[in-house]
Amino acid sequence: MRNVLPVGKQLLRLSQQPYKKGAVCAASAMSGNKFRLPDRYNAQPSVWVEYIQLALEHKPLNLGQGFPDYPPPDYVTNGLAEVTTGENVLLNQYTRGFGHPRLVNALSKLYSQLIGREINPQSEIMVTTGAYEALFSTILGHTNPGEEVIIIEPFFDCYEAMVQAAGGVARFIPLKPKKTTGTIMSSDWVLDPAELESLFNEKTKAIILNTPHNPLGKVFNQQELEMIANLCKKWNVLCIADEVYEWLVYKPYKHIRIATLPGMWERTITIGSAGKTFSVTGWKIGWAYGPAQLMKNLQAVHQNCVYTCSTPLQEAVARGFELELKRLGQPDCYFVSLPQELEAKRDYMAKFLSDVGMVPTIPEGGYFMIADWSALEKKVNLSEENDRWKDYRFTKWMSKNVKLQGIPPSAFYSEPHKPLAENYVRYCFIKKDENLQKAEEILQKWKASS
Ligand SMILES: Cc1ncc(COP(=O)(O)O)c(C=O)c1O
């Protein structure tokens, strides 16, 4: 006889019966709207999923994703090997949920110096599964349904989805270039102060500030930070400072932590990443620090989500910090040598993109570069691709036909503002010199072809 019970009752009946072959068929009747993704999750396709697949299929030289294609420093990877095989076997077991003691102590030493106040390792720091989870715990731990979160465009794409998952409302403001010809620096991309002010109101809960910025490489200056800080104080708003590229700043620019501005410590959660700090993006260890009364909110999300992060990875990151703390600011400190090494790669990429006819924005920080490719439009057959936005068509066509992959920056804009990004592509320059040279050769060959 046909089973006419509603799905819920079928499941109840199934759960009360001993297992019988064929019972799975009844379970597969679980279909229809009841099991669709909850509305609070953004079901938009992710640019990463799509472009990783594209790279697998067409095997281009991949300058899309943000990670080094060369080994991390030896002391970091050897440190992890020692941790997992050393005498203290307990380092392979669970550790404290809000952060492995040795790591929170090292982070406390470091950031107490940098922020200019004593940061309590137990109550004012939390270790997370990458900066990604720090963002998630901060946003979910503070946003009530209907509250507004201001996001500066272009933005790291998960910000919008996380605000939506919390039931919040994302309000967007784009950075816009003051000029579009000649040498363009990322400092030429600015916020309109009046437009920013107009977004603040009684419903504003937080603003997300990413400095140094992905993908522009902008390092927000003192004046820009003061403008943001003053609005946060005026409207009693939380500042979520995503500072994962804090050590990747090129001369003569300086990274200023917004938490150091007057009246900002008490309303700022600052986020960092071991992946970016030690060039080990696969380790997925991050952290957040801020005043204890705000950190409690993150802890509540974290303890009911991942609860605790990998012990050996935290121990190895702690040892890395202990070493760097001894040589902080000195030429052999990794936080000094890495940006120096990257500056040369940045300049090399800027030159070969310019030589081929693109207009790069020279980043002051981070390891991404965006470039305006519109002068080359006649060399690309955009009609071979179907995407709505031109930067998607350009990057796909380039991956398939020229064999060089970049990322379409419109992925980092809200729907109404995506046209602002259509003429741009994002490339990553934390790559082996030989791969950057290959990218140059590929583009030169393409330029010379008819
Ligand atoms: C701006 C920004 N925030 C956060 C993250 C996430 O960092 P993690 O890999 O530590 O989760 C990234 C990674 O690319 C990023 O670019």
Q: What gap in Å lies between CA 349 and CA 356, rounded to an integer?
A: 11
**Is the residue at 393 inside a domain?**
yes
Asked if 314 and 341 sit in the same domain, the reply is no
Out of 138, 156, 310, give the residue to mutate to test ligand 1, the one with the largest number of ligand atoms within 8 Å of its CB: 156
Asked if 58 and 183 sit in the same domain, the reply is no
pLDDT interval class at 165 (50, 70, 90):
very high
Asked if 6 and 58 sit in the same domain, the reply is no
In terms of Cβ atoms closer than 10 Å to its own Cβ (0-12, 13-18, 19+), residue 265 is buried
Asked if 64 and 117 sit in the same domain, the reply is no
CA of 131 to the centre of ligand 1 (A): 6
Q: What gap in Å lies between CA 154 and CA 413, rounded to an integer?
A: 5
**Is the residue at 267 inside a domain?**
yes
> Does the beta carbon of 440 sit less than 6 angstroms from any atom of ligand 1?
no
CA of 108 to the centre of ligand 1 (A): 21
Q: What gap in Å lies between CA 202 and CA 305, rounded to an integer?
A: 30
In terms of Cβ atoms closer than 10 Å to its own Cβ (0-12, 13-18, 19+), residue 449 is exposed
Least confident of 11-20, 75-84, 423-432: 11-20
Asked if 218 and 254 sit in the same domain, the reply is yes
- Per the structure block, which two tokens stand in for 268? 């700022």
8 pLDDT more than 80:
no
Asked if 372 and 253 sit in the same domain, the reply is no
The number of distinct structural domains making up the chain is 3
**Is the residue at 41 inside a domain?**
no
> Does the beta carbon of 156 sit less than 6 angstroms from any atom of ligand 1?
yes
Atom index in ligand 1 nearest the CA of residue 66 equals 14
> Does the beta carbon of 273 sit less than 6 angstroms from any atom of ligand 1?
yes
- Per the structure block, which two tokens stand in for 48? 């990463």
Q: What is residue 3's predicted lDDT score, i.e. its pLDDT?
A: 40
On the CB side of 97, how many CA atoms lie within 13 Å of its CA? 11
Q: What is residue 181's predicted lDDT score, i.e. its pLDDT?
A: 84
* CATH at 231: 3.40.640.10
CA of 258 to the centre of ligand 1 (A): 18
CA of 156 to the centre of ligand 1 (A): 8
Asked if 181 and 310 sit in the same domain, the reply is yes
CA of 287 to the centre of ligand 1 (A): 11
Q: Whose CA is nearest to atom 7 of ligand 1?
A: 131
Backbone dihedral angles phi then psi of residue 174, each to the nearest 5 degrees: -85, 145
Least confident of 5-14, 22-31, 135-144, 409-418: 5-14
Of 266, 250, 177, 217, nearest to 258 by C-alpha is 266
* CATH at 440: 3.90.1150.10
Q: What is residue 14's predicted lDDT score, i.e. its pLDDT?
A: 40
Q: What is residue 40's predicted lDDT score, i.e. its pLDDT?
A: 87
Atom index in ligand 1 nearest the CA of residue 133 equals 11
Strand partners for 238:
206
> Does the beta carbon of 214 sit less than 6 angstroms from any atom of ligand 1?
yes
Q: Is the dihedral of CA 283, 288, 292, 296 positive or negative?
A: negative
> Does the beta carbon of 281 sit less than 6 angstroms from any atom of ligand 1?
yes
**Is the residue at 322 inside a domain?**
yes
Least confident of 45-49, 208-212, 324-328: 45-49
Q: What gap in Å lies between CA 143 and CA 168, rounded to an integer?
A: 6
Boundary-marking domain end, from 268, 297, 326: 326
**Is the residue at 224 inside a domain?**
yes
Bond prior to 212 in cis (omega within 30° of 0) = yes
| Separation in Å, CA 135 to CA 158, 160, 275, 440 | 9, 11, 15, 36
Q: What is residue 171's predicted lDDT score, i.e. its pLDDT?
A: 98
- Domain extent, residue 9, equals 1-36
Q: List the end-to-end C-alpha distance of the chain, in Å, as a whole number.
A: 70
Q: What is residue 180's predicted lDDT score, i.e. its pLDDT?
A: 82
Instruction: Return the SS3 of 431.
Output: coil
- Per the structure block, which two tokens stand in for 4? 């006419």
| Separation in Å, CA 383 to CA 112, 222, 386, 418 | 55, 45, 7, 19
Q: What is the enclosing helix (H) or strand (E) of 81?
A: helix 74-85
Asked if 178 and 226 sit in the same domain, the reply is yes
Mean pLDDT score across all residues of the chain:
93
On the CB side of 105, how many CA atoms lie within 13 Å of its CA? 8
The stretch 314-332 carries a mean pLDDT of 98
pLDDT per residue as tens digits for the range 102-116: 999 999 999 999 999
Q: What is the dihedral of CA 426, 430, 432, 434, to 10 degrees?
A: 30
> Does the beta carbon of 279 sit less than 6 angstroms from any atom of ligand 1?
no
18 pLDDT more than 70:
no
Q: What is residue 19's predicted lDDT score, i.e. its pLDDT?
A: 46
Q: What percent of the chain has pLDDT over 70?
A: 93
Boundary-marking domain end, from 326, 354, 379: 326
Q: What gap in Å lies between CA 91 and CA 112, rounded to an integer?
A: 26
Strand partners for 209:
241
Q: What is the β-pairing status of strands 286-289 and 359-362?
A: unpaired
Helix and strand numbers, DSSP H then E, in the chain: 15, 15
**Is the residue at 42 inside a domain?**
no
pLDDT interval class at 448 (50, 70, 90):
very high
Asked if 269 and 337 sit in the same domain, the reply is no
The stretch 142-171 carries a mean pLDDT of 97
> Does the beta carbon of 286 sit less than 6 angstroms from any atom of ligand 1?
yes
- Per the structure block, which two tokens stand in for 300? 């509540």
Q: Whose CA is nearest to atom 14 of ligand 1?
A: 66
Q: What is residue 31's predicted lDDT score, i.e. its pLDDT?
A: 66
> Does the beta carbon of 60 sit less than 6 angstroms from any atom of ligand 1?
no
164 pLDDT more than 50:
yes
Strand partners for 240:
208, 269
The stretch 20-31 carries a mean pLDDT of 52
Boundary-marking domain end, from 265, 298, 326: 326
CA of 151 to the centre of ligand 1 (A): 15
Atom index in ligand 1 nearest the CA of residue 156 equals 1
Asked if 318 and 437 sit in the same domain, the reply is no
Given a contact cutoff of 8 angstroms between Cβ atoms, the answer to whether 184 and 177 are in contact is: yes
pLDDT per residue as tens digits for the range 397-425: 999 999 999 999 999 999 999 999 999 99
- Per the structure block, which two tokens stand in for 228? 């943001």
Out of 132, 133, 220, 368, give the residue to mutate to test ligand 1, the one with the largest number of ligand atoms within 8 Å of its CB: 132
The stretch 191-199 carries a mean pLDDT of 98
Give the position of tokens 């592509």: 425
Asked if 65 and 89 sit in the same domain, the reply is no
> Does the beta carbon of 131 sit less than 6 angstroms from any atom of ligand 1?
yes
71 pLDDT more than 50:
yes
**Is the residue at 93 inside a domain?**
yes
Backbone dihedral angles phi then psi of residue 189, each to the nearest 5 degrees: -90, 120
Q: What gap in Å lies between CA 204 and CA 400, rounded to an integer?
A: 44
Asked if 99 and 27 sit in the same domain, the reply is no
CA of 378 to the centre of ligand 1 (A): 35
**Is the residue at 366 inside a domain?**
yes
